[in-house]
């Protein structure tokens, strides 16, 4: 079991293409990055370069449809995902219209079986949020990309994921991982 989610990374886009890269009303341009993360905060799959306005579920669908992406289909892998994705074979999203976010459970404990499931799901899936937090804290370029051609920007993002994984796998004493664990 691993977790999947998308995140936005700042992008420098030519004016003629900016409309599809403007992210969620923020005015700036972003590339949408799909990541899959294990419970050791290691990214096992990264796909960068999608338009910032692309919905996470669309990115996942397109990535799975292209065999050259080497996406590991369920089984053997199963993925915890947020409500932006649908419950399909191998992908486990939380119950809709039921409390989900961890902060919601600080005020009142889970009562129904659906709330208990969502609470457990949120605690497990939170690993990818923390892993993204480490990445964005470590690499300021995620918030202010350098003006490289877009294919280079995409490769910079992938390289940052690789360096981050290296630090984690080599068990280098790292304050950021300690902070986000």
142 or 83: which carries more pLDDT confidence? 142
**pLDDT at 60 exceeding the cut of 70:** yes
Q: Which residues contact 15 (CB under 8 A, 6 or more apart)?
A: none
**Using one digit for the tens of pLDDT, what is the confidence trace for 110-164?**
788 988 898 888 899 999 999 999 999 999 999 999 999 999 999 999 999 999 9
Question: What pLDDT is recorded for position 29?
Answer: 94
Q: In terms of C-beta density within 10 A (0-12 exposed, 13-18 middle, 19 or more buried), how is residue 173 classed?
A: exposed
Domain-wise residue ranges, the chain: 2-180
Question: What pLDDT is recorded for position 104?
Answer: 77
Percentage of the chain surpassing pLDDT 70?
97
**pLDDT at 53 exceeding the cut of 90:** no
Q: Please, are residues 61 and 84 in contact by the beta-carbon 8 Å criterion?
A: no
Q: Please, are residues 47 and 61 in contact by the beta-carbon 8 Å criterion?
A: no
pLDDT, the chain, mean:
89
Quickly list H helices, 66-141. Answer: 104-107, 113-138
Residue 64 tokens read as: 């799975």
Q: Mean pLDDT highest for which of 33-37, 121-125, 172-176?
A: 33-37
**pLDDT at 73 exceeding the cut of 80:** no
Alpha-carbon torsion angle 5, 83, 88, 105, nearest 10: 100
Question: What pLDDT is recorded for position 13?
Answer: 95
Question: What pLDDT is recorded for position 64?
Answer: 87
Rounded-to-integer distance, Cα 34 and Cα 23, Å = 15
**pLDDT at 23 exceeding the cut of 70:** no
């Amino acid at each position: 079991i691993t977790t999947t989610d998308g995140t936005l990374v700042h992008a420098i886009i030519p004016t003629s293409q900016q409309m599809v890269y403007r992210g969620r009303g923020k005015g700036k341009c972003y590339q949408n990055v799909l990541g899959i993360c294990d419970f050791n905060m290691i990214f096992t799959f990264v796909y960068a370069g999608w338009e910032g306005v692309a919905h996470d579920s669309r990115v996942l669908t397109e990535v799975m449809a292209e065999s050259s992406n080497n996406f590991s289909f369920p089984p053997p892998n199963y993925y915890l995902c947020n409500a932006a994705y649908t419950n399909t074979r191998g992908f486990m999203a939380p119950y809709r219209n039921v409390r989900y976010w961890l902060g919601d459970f600080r005020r009142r404990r889970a009562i129904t079986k659906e709330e208990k499931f969502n609470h457990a799901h949120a605690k497990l899936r939170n690993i990818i949020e923390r892993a993204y937090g480490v990445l964005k804290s470590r690499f300021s370029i995620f918030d202010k990309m350098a003006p490289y051609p877009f294919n280079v920007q995409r490769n910079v993002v992938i390289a940052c994921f690789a360096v981050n994984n290296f630090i984690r796998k080599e068990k280098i004493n790292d304050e950021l991982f300690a902070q986000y664990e």
